[in-house]
Structure 1
Amino acid sequence: MTDSMETPRVSWPRALVAALAAPLLVGAVAVVLFGAWSADLPDPLAVHFGPGGDADGFASPGAARWSVLLGPATAAVLVTVLVLITRRDLRTARTGVAAAAGIGSFVAAVPLLMAAPQRGVADAADVTVPVWGLVAAAVIGAIAALLGARAVPSPGPARASTAPPADAPRIPLADRERVAWSGSASMPRWVGVGVGVVPVVVAGALLATGGASALLVLVVAVISAALMALVLAPVRVGIDHRGLTARGLVPVRAITIPLGEVAEARAVTVRVLNGFGGYGYRIGPRGVGLIARPGEALQVTRGDGSRFTVTVDDAAGAAAALNALAARGRV
Structure 2
Amino acid sequence: MGSFLLVGILLAVGLCAVFAAIGWAWGAAASTRRLAAGGCMWSGAFAAAVLLTSLAPQRGLADASEATDAGWALALSLLLPLVPACLAAALVPGDRRLPSDAPVAAGAARAVLHDGERAAWFRRAAGGPGLAVAAVAILITTVLAVVLETWAMLVVPALLAGLFAAMFAFTVRVDATGLTVRSVLGWPGTHVPADEVVVASVTDVSPLAEFGGWGWRVGPGGRVGVVLRRGESLLVERTGGRSLVVTVDDAASAAGLLNTLADRARATG
TM-score by length of 1: 0.64
Q: Which amino acid aligns with 1:265?
A: A
Question: Which position in structure 1 is the counterpart of 2:181?
Answer: 246
Cα shift readout 1:225-263 (whole Å, capped 9, x = no counterpart): 939964994332111122211122577243222223222
Deviations 1:73-94 (A, max 9, x none): 22453135424762x5353345
2:147 to 193, 213, 219: 213
Rounded to whole Å, the distance in 2 between the matches of 1:154 and 1:193 is 33
Structure 1 residues 250 and 108, CA gap change in structure 2 (3 angstroms): farther
Aligned to 2:208: 273
Contact 1:113 1:137 in 2 (8 A): no
C-alpha separation between the residues in 1 aligned to 2:188 and 2:163?
21
1:103 corresponds to 2:43: yes
Task: Map Cα deviations across residues 200-225 of structure 1 (whole Å, 9 max, x no partner).
Answer: 69x99x9xxxxx93859x96x957x9
Instruction: Provide the C-alpha distance between the structure 2 equivalents of 1:195 and 1:68, rounded to a whole number of angstroms.
Output: 27
Q: Pick closer, same or farther for the CA change 1:95–1:222 going to 2, 3 Å.
A: closer
Match in the other structure for 1:196: 135
Letter in 2 for 1:312: V
Higher helix share: 2
RMSD: 4.0
Instruction: Supply the distance in 2 between the matched residues of 1:155 and 1:198 (Cα, whole angstroms).
Output: 34
Alignment counterpart, residue 257 of structure 1, candidates 162, 167, 192: 192
1:281 maps to amino acid: W
Kept after mapping to 2: 8 A contact 1:181/1:318:
yes
- The TM-score, its normalising length taken from structure 2, stands at 0.77
Residue ranges of structure 1 left out of the alignment (5+ in a row): 1-59, 207-211
Question: Is the Cα contact below 8 Å between 1:288 and 1:308 reproduced in 2?
Answer: yes
1:237 paired residue among 169, 172, 175: 172
Relative distance call for 1:72 and 1:253 in structure 2 (3 A) is: closer
Alignment check: 8 A CA contact 2:229 2:247 kept = yes
Deviations 1:26-45 (A, max 9, x none): xxxxxxxxxxxxxxxxxxxx
Give the alignment partner of residue 131 of structure 1, picking from 47, 72, 88.
Answer: 72
**Paired residue for 1:89, among 25, 28, 32?**
28
Cα displacement (A) at 1:124? 2.7
SS state of the match for residue 260, structure 2?
A: helix
In structure 2, relative to structure 1, the CA distance for the partners of 1:103 and 1:244 (3 Å cut) is same
- Please say if residues 223 and 244 of structure 2, whose CA atoms lie closer than 8 Å, have aligned partners that are also in contact: yes
Q: How many residues get paired?
A: 261
In the other structure, the counterpart of 1:326 is: 262
Task: Quickly say closer, same or farther: Cα 1:119–1:70, change in 2 above 3 A.
Answer: same
Q: Is 1:307 the counterpart of 2:243 in the alignment?
A: yes
Aligned to 1:179: 119
Amino acid at match of 1:325: L
CA distance in 2, matches of 1:74, 1:135: 21
Answer whether contact 1:168 1:266 (CA < 8 A) is retained. yes
The one-letter code sitting in structure 2 at the alignment partner of 1:292 is L
Moved more, 313-322 or 287-296: 287-296
Unaligned runs of 5+ in 2: none
Matching residue within 60, 66, 69 for 1:120: 60
2:20 and 2:36 in contact (8 A); partners too: no
Deviation of 1:330 (Å):
2.3
